[in-house]
Amino acid sequence: MAADLERTVSEVTDERDRFGAVLEGISDAVLALDEHGRITLANRAALAMLRCSFDPQGRSAMDLVRAPAFRELLTSAAEGVAQTREIDLPEDPPRWILTRATPLRVPGLVIVMSDITELRRLEGVRRDFVANVSHELRTPVSIVRASSEALLDGALADADRARSFVESIHRNSERLSLLLADLLDLARIEAGQRALDRASAAASADR
């Protein structure tokens, strides 16, 4: 019996160590809560993400994540159904955390969190970029159209005026080509075929 007990304890200890190693190797933040919402386990990623410099075990999860949406998530998940929400942390600058709460077989929850702040920032950059390019496209298109209409309406008969309109069409067609190249670069970046060059992006924005 003593040998069996020792073997069982050894197996449990090994299993615990393996679980701990896996948990600490996960890049996402992981919290385990009891039925009262108190933290029973937190990996290093969770402490780093939530900027916690103390041992949170036994503390309420709400002490670490002070956001109404987080409280609502815990309340909904406690009813027995896994929930996923994007939590907006009221910080300066603000951060966005994608959070999933999953009920355990025993009373309690497992919380997995991923910081998606950079993703949201890039989405904002993309929206602004597309909006700016769309706005910038209107001017050269309008000039090309107006110049071509002037040529068709009789400006071709005046050599000086015709050259001016043709030069305007050529200049703005080059501008259109640059804008379209920017859009193609954006499509390649989104498809993972090209890395984002911040210097080039800044130059495009200035252009």
Q: pLDDT digit string (tens) for 36-65?
A: 999 988 888 888 888 888 888 899 999 888
Q: What is the pTM for the complete model shown?
A: 0.61
Enclosing domain of residue 8 = 2-115
Sign of CA dihedral 163, 166, 170, 171: positive
One domain for residues 135 and 165:
yes
CATH number at residue 90: 3.30.450.20
CB 82 within 8 A of CB 100: yes
- The 10s digit of each residue's pLDDT in 79-119 is 888 989 999 887 888 889 999 999 988 888 999 999 998 88
pLDDT above 90 covers what percent of the chain?
A: 16
Which residues are CB-neighbours of 95 under 8 A, at least 6 positions away? 88, 89, 115, 117
Cα R_g (the chain), whole angstroms:
29
One domain for residues 53 and 148:
no
CB 113 within 8 A of CB 29: yes
Cα 174 from chain centre: 34
CATH number at residue 202: 1.10.287.130
One domain for residues 38 and 124:
no
Greater confidence, 6 or 198? 6
